[in-house]
Amino acid sequence: KAGVTQTPRYLIKTRGQQVTLSCSPISGHRSVSWYQQTPGQGLQFLFEYFSETQRNKGNFPGRFSGRQFSNSRSEMNVSTLELGDSALYLCASSQLTGTSTDTQYFGPGTRLTVL
Amino acid sequence: AQSVTQPDIHITVSEGASLELRCNYSYGATPYLFWYVQSPGQGLQLLLKYFSGDTLVQGIKGFEAEFKRSQSSFNLRKPSVHWSDAAEYFCAVGARNNDMRFGAGTRLTVKP
């Protein structure tokens, strides 16, 4: 079974631009979560989608948004990029058969650099 | 609110030596606990997880972890470290609805 895939792997943008990152979960997984990883703040939860609905949201400004499609693929968008948005963005998928925590499997990440 | 503390930012061990990485959690109910490993520039790979049952959990690559409720700990161990184990290790606690919180990570260096 193929793992979680993320595209693109690397991205360079300038301040003020917007960016869209894509995540394809493991086949059969319906939950997709997004995390931001930086040296200063570590791994921080952005949001989680399940069946095309955002179920959880972390403490990030509204510039960060996401969506999930009917095939469970997910995209996240960051508008009006700031230098501090430079980070590794990780996507994770899980089967999530109920309301309890399920095991999350991570993709390789997208490295975003904002100049 | 749940939280995770990994007291050691960086640990150096010699190849062949034993390893223990510490993890303490704070959570009001029975936690779901995870250890992940991350190589430079890569995503996170699941090493092992604890949901319930036997408090000693076996994982991949020869790792194990023990859940101790009385100490709110979930320490990761390996009896003999290999050079390829050098990486960053993250402990995480999960609650309902996949709301996972990660520790700050412990970077492991392996000396030849």
User: Of A3, A5, A9, A102, which is closest to residue A48 (Cα–Cα)?
Assistant: A102
Q: Is pLDDT at A100 greater than 90 in this prediction?
A: no
Contact A89, A75 (CB under 8 A): no
Beta pairing, strands B87-94 & B32-38? antiparallel
B89 in contact with A, Cβ within 8 Å: no
Q: What whole-number distance in Å separates Cα of residue B55 and Cα of residue B59?
A: 13
Q: Which residue of B2, B49, B96, B97 to mutate against A (max A Cβ within 10 Å)? A: B97
For B30-81, how does the pLDDT look when each residue is reduced to its tens digit (9 = 90+)? Answer: 788 999 999 987 889 999 999 888 899 999 999 999 999 999 999 999 999 9
Q: What whole-number distance in Å separates Cα of residue B8 and Cα of residue B25?
A: 14
The answer to whether the bond into A8 is cis (omega within 30° of 0) is yes
Neighbours of A56 (CB within 10 A): 18
Contact B101, B5 (CB under 8 A): no
Residues β-bridged to residue B13? B110
For A8-17, how does the pLDDT look when each residue is reduced to its tens digit (9 = 90+)? Answer: 999 999 999 9
Q: How confident is the model at residue A33 (pLDDT cuts 50, 70, 90)?
A: very high
Q: Which residue of A51, A104, A112 to mutate against B (max B Cβ within 10 Å)? A: A104
Q: What whole-number distance in Å separates Cα of residue B65 and Cα of residue B49?
A: 8
Please, what is the average pLDDT of chain A?
Answer: 92
B94 in contact with A, Cβ within 8 Å: yes
Q: Is pLDDT at A81 greater than 70 in this prediction?
A: yes
Q: Residue B95: its pLDDT value, please? A: 67
Q: Residue A103: its pLDDT value, please? A: 83
Candidate from B36, B43, B100 with C-beta closest to A101: B100
- If you average pLDDT over residues A7-27, what whole number do you get? 97
Lowest mean pLDDT among A24-33, A93-102, B27-36: A93-102
Q: Residue A98: its pLDDT value, please? A: 56
Q: Residue A104: its pLDDT value, please? A: 87
Q: What whole-number distance in Å separates Cα of residue A9 and Cα of residue B39?
A: 15
